């Protein structure tokens, strides 16, 4: 199980970190893609075990659509592997270069 530090408020309103909050599947997907695709911004929308992703990165500049998709799917291979994989499908994938 992946853990993520989640900000919560204590009684005096100060921000504290809860080290035992499980990381959502959307956050796991976002983190995997951001680690594999340099300088990327990732938006993830869930619909059950199906997801839509929008990935923006300057490394996509000059690459063909298939090359960009392979980069993203490569980042998700562990989350999509096996018959009990948490990610069943990516229904929609946008791979964009940032606007100047």
Give the pLDDT band (50/70/90) at residue 48. confident
- Say what the pLDDT of residue 98 is: 96
Domain map (residue ranges) of the chain:
24-96
Q: Give the count of beta carbons closer than 10 Å to the beta carbon of residue 28.
A: 20
Percent of the chain predicted with pLDDT > 90: 60
Rounded CA separation 91/50 (Å): 6
Rounded CA separation 65/56 (Å): 13
Query: 24-96: CATH homologous superfamily?
Result: BolA-like (3.30.300.90)
Q: pLDDT at residue 69 above 80?
A: yes
Q: pLDDT at residue 5 above 80?
A: no
Average pLDDT over residues 42-57: 93
């Amino acid at each position: 199980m992946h853990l993520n530090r989640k900000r919560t408020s204590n009684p005096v309103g100060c921000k504290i970190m809860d080290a035992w909050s499980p990381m959502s599947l959307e956050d796991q997907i976002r983190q995997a893609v951001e680690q594999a695709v340099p300088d990327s911004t990732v938006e993830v929308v869930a619909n059950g075990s199906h997801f839509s992703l929008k990935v923006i990165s300057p490394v996509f500049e000059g690459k063909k659509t298939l090359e960009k998709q392979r980069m993203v799917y490569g980042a998700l291979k562990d989350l999509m592997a096996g018959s009990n994989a948490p990610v069943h499908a990516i229904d929609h994938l946008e791979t964009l270069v940032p606007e100047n």
